[in-house]
Each structure stands twice: as C-alpha cells, then as structure tokens.
Amino acid sequence: MADAIMPDRVDSPIPAKAGIGLRAEHYREVTDSLPTVGWLEVHSENYFGDGGAPLEYLERAREHYPISLHGVGLSIGSCDPLNQRHLAKLKSLIQIYEPGLVSDHLSWSSVDGSYLNDLLPLPYTEEALRHFAERVQQAQDYLGREILIENPSSYLQYTHSTIPEWDFLDEVARISGCGILLDINNIHVSATNHGYDAQQYLRAIPANKVREMHLAGFTVNRYPEGEILIDTHNAPVADEVWALYNQAVKRLGNLPTLIEWDTDLPPLPVLLNEARRADEIMEKAHALVA
C-alpha cells in the first residue's frame, strides 16, 4: 500500500483488531495520550468543514492510527440524485487522509433535498435492489475505491418487501462489488424487533465479503404491548451481542471491529476496555483455530 503523500504517517490498512470511534469530546485526550488501540473510525460528515478544529485533530490522529471513514449521510437508498457535493467532500477527505476503509449504510435519509438525519429502511424488493446496487456502483466509481455497506437497525418492515435483509445485502455486494460492514448489534436489534433469528442472519452472510464489524449498545423502549430495542450507541455492548460477536468471529475470522459509542460518551478508558474485550475474543478464537 503506497502511503507516499505523508511519509510521517502510519500505514493506511485497518488491522484485524478492535478500534474505537474518535468523537469531539475525546479529541484532545486521544491526540495527547495516543492510547494503545488498533485504529480509529470517524463520521465522515463531521469533517466536511473547510478547515476547522476537527480536521486539525484528525490530521494529528492520522499520523498515529489507521483511520476508517464511516458515513451516515450519503443517503444511498434515496430516490433523490446522489448528492454530488457530499461525494466531492468525501472524495477530498479520502485523498487527504487515505482511510483504510470507507463505509455507509443500507438505508436512505433524504427526500426532495430534505434530510431526516436517520437511517431509514428500504423496502427489500428487486426494484430497490437494482436501485441501491446501481448507486453503490456510482459512488464507488466516483470515489475510485471500494466502499462497505452496513446493515442498519430497523424498527419496521414493509408489506411489499420480498427479500430477506441478509440476501439483499449479499446481492448488493455481488452486483456492485462493495464490501459488507456487519454490525452485530444491529443484527441483534433488528432480529429482536422483528422476531427473526439472529443466527440465521449470521449464517447467511457471505464470509468473503465482510471487511469490518461494528459493536454498540442499545436502549430498550417499553410499550404496553412489549419492548422495542433502539440502536442508540449510548451504552456498553450487551452480553447477547458479545455472544453473537463471538460466533461471528468464529465464522468470519478476525476482522477490524469497531466499538461505536456516540451519545452519553463515557471516559476514554471505558471505550478502550470494550475494545480490549473484542481483541480478547479475537485472540481466543484465533488460538482455537491454530
């Protein structure tokens, strides 16, 4: 991998280890203390400014860590034209920071130019599949690189969906040539909310396409009729999700694994501990195989 632009930096590729999200609250502490962790992931859109403090911290972080750019706002599944300004900003970030991985979601978030700031679900139909895969291809062609598509947490299913989410994701990857970012917490959240089997989901995912995994905490919303899990990224990874992750590692092998925590951020050591736990699971699984 040629990292000729900035010789002072560590290499780009993301190692098959745990990483943490770099968030504004931790900018100073991370760039001052340089904690031991495999890599960092940032939300691409937070660095779309024309300069500014976030970019300065990212530059400092990039010297010491491989970086993954994770998008939440490209709105790939939308019927609006792909946002060229958004793509241009992303491309320029890619050129400057040389991320090891670039990702966004199997979802949409804009309609008629209005953005809802949420990862909204697609109907899983043949028509939506062609539309989504085509737009992934467009984005990859423009960016000149592979992107990863992440399975979202979902809270509703459409009456006209005909394809299970895992097959939809597999087909998107096959048609567009993109990779898969498998969010283990999202599998657990969606499987619980819709009453399907998380194991079946995991077994159906093509192992050779998964490049990264995500782990996060959820919130339980209680209603008179029952509980709905919400993917809030505001808590430690739940035990059920660790168990599912353990199985995923055995099936898919060791992969870059992100601890995602975005609201009610804990002190940095708490995040690092979660990352260590993911590393331990990978080391154990690896030892068993060897």
- x-or-dash string of contact with other proteins, 101-120, rule CB under 8 A: --------xx--xxxxxx-x
Number of other CB atoms surrounding residue 127 within 10 Å: 9
| Cβ closest to other proteins, residue 143 vs residue 175 | 143
Q: Which of 130, 145, 174, 194 binds other proteins (CB under 8 A)?
A: 194
289 interacts with other proteins by CB under 8 A: no
From the CB of 147, what's the least distance to other proteins, in Å? 15
Q: Which of 32, 50, 127, 239 binds other proteins (CB under 8 A)?
A: 50
Q: By CB under 8 A, how many residues form the interface with other proteins?
A: 45
Side chain identity at residue 219, one-letter code = T
**Position of tokens 């092998």?**
253
**Would you state the structure tokens that stand for residue 86, as one six-digit string?**
């958004």
From the CB of 250, what's the least distance to other proteins, in Å? 29
Q: How far is CA 272 from CA 99, 103, 149, 238, in A?
A: 21, 22, 25, 16
Q: Which of 36, 127, 195, 288 binds other proteins (CB under 8 A)?
A: 195
Q: How does strand 67-70 pair with strand 101-105?
A: parallel
Q: Which of 162, 199, 221, 273 binds other proteins (CB under 8 A)?
A: 221
Query: d(Cα 184, Cα 96) in Å, to the nearest integer?
Result: 30
Q: Which of 12, 31, 68, 83 binds other proteins (CB under 8 A)?
A: 83
Phi-psi group of 103: left, alpha or beta (phi > 0 → left; psi -120 to 50 → alpha; rest → beta): beta
User: What distance separates the 2 farthest-apart alpha carbons in the chain?
Assistant: 59
Q: For residues 154-193, which are near other proteins according to CB under 8 A?
A: 155-161, 193
* H or E segment to which residue 40 belongs: strand 40-43
* Interface contacts to other proteins, rule CB under 8 A: 45-46, 48-54, 71-75, 83, 85-86, 89, 109-110, 113-118, 120, 123, 155-161, 193-195, 221, 223, 225-226, 228, 230, 263
